[in-house]
Structure 1
Amino acid sequence: MLEERQEELINSVLEDDKEKIHEITDNMYPIDIAIIIEEFDDESLMKFNEHIDNELMAEIIEQASEELQVRIIKLFEFKSIVHLFSYMSNDDIADILGNLPIKMRKDLLKLMKTGDTRQLQELLGYDEDSAGGIMTTEYIALRGDLLIGESLKKIKEIGPKTEVIETIFVLNNNKELIGTADLRDILVAPEDEKLLNIMNDNIISVHPEEDQEKVSLLVSKYDLKAIPVIN
């Protein structure tokens, strides 16, 4: 089946048939598309990119092999790559940047927003097999004195842009972590209850340098959906 799709997609790109390309890719997973376009020459890759939306291309790049990721970034204009990065989470961007030559990585970081650059540089500073190397900077942290109704409103606003949503991190007024709350518990709690009254204050955390295998064991042992990484 994938071989048939591969031939169809190749022919559609060669014929510049945008409608057919959309018809084919709409019924495929990004990982399968990434496998197919790995065989494309540079011209076909550029044509393919012109005919699909940026969000799908970002998903394809996320799923692509390291070799294809580097090839695409070398082939496309850096401004286009930065625009595609806007559809990805920072930890996925950091993984991609980590495979690039240093000069190329620096040039891309210069084009990005200051806040994003700071977070990415932090992620890039950790070994890929450490907790810091696999962590995300995109999570929801709310003050514990918020009411559940207020918390839900903020979760709805922030959630679509966030990678970790099942676990909500709870902070005090000094922005220090004081607990975590499961999204399900928040959804069933009375709206006039304070977030800190339903949180779990028994915090299990790891340091950025912790080996990711130890992190996985902790996640499995305590059935965690997320674990805070604390310096």
Structure 2
Amino acid sequence: MTTESNVNKEESAQQSLIQHLMELRSCILKALLGVVVIFFGLIWFRNDIYTFVAMPLIQALPAGSKLIATEVTSTFLVPIKLTLWLSFFAAVPWVIYQIWLFIAPGLYQKERRLVFPMVFSSILLFYLGMMFAYFAVMPLMFKFLVGTTPDGVEMATDISQYLSVILRLFFIFGVAFEVPVAIILLVLMNVITVDKISSKRPYIIIGAFIVAAVVTPPDVLSQVAFAGMTIILFEVGLWIAKQLKRS
């Protein structure tokens, strides 16, 4: 009887694992489908999208200057690549929703109440980080870089190199805006106390500038903007964590 019981338990566990893997596969396929749908909806406007994203540099360049394409296929492939990345960024809420459907059944009610606002806040902050990079950092950064061009030198930026720079900026500023969420989660999960984080403030400030020097382009404006915003977001997250702990 014991042997049969163990066999039944093993079969049940295997069936449960297979069922979870099938559910995970379904969630992944639905998430990818969302990205594909958005991509095919945007692909017809790929050149307009690239022009819009390149506007901070175009406006900073001297009159008559343009971006260049140094490879034969760049004018075709680079806008498509940008559109694909933007499709993924736009589909993040849908992707997160699919992940939520997969993990939610295994969470307690209290955990669900905590996870949903954290996920919503994370998505919103990531988008705000991208917007901050586009509307605040990039215009100042490119104006500064164009202004440092030596006499007799024409600044002609390749469109694929520009894409690499702006995708990097979107990502690092999007991640930087997640600092408040990270602090709140660490405090609420009792990984670290508010007082302990506060005592580390000088190191965090220095660390923000060190990280800025490593991850941002080599110009003072973007580095200061990244470090300054990270410090502000750290203080905001710390303040919210204090309020939540008191309640």
Q: Same fold (TM over 0.5)?
A: no
Report which of the two structures shows the higher radius of gyration computed on alpha carbons.
2
Richer in helix (by share)? 2
Higher relative contact order (CA 8 A, sep 6+): 2
Task: Pick the TM interval, shorter chain.
Answer: under 0.3
Structure that is richer in strand per residue: 1
TM-score, with structure 1 as normaliser: 0.25
Q: Normalising by structure 2, report the TM-score.
A: 0.24
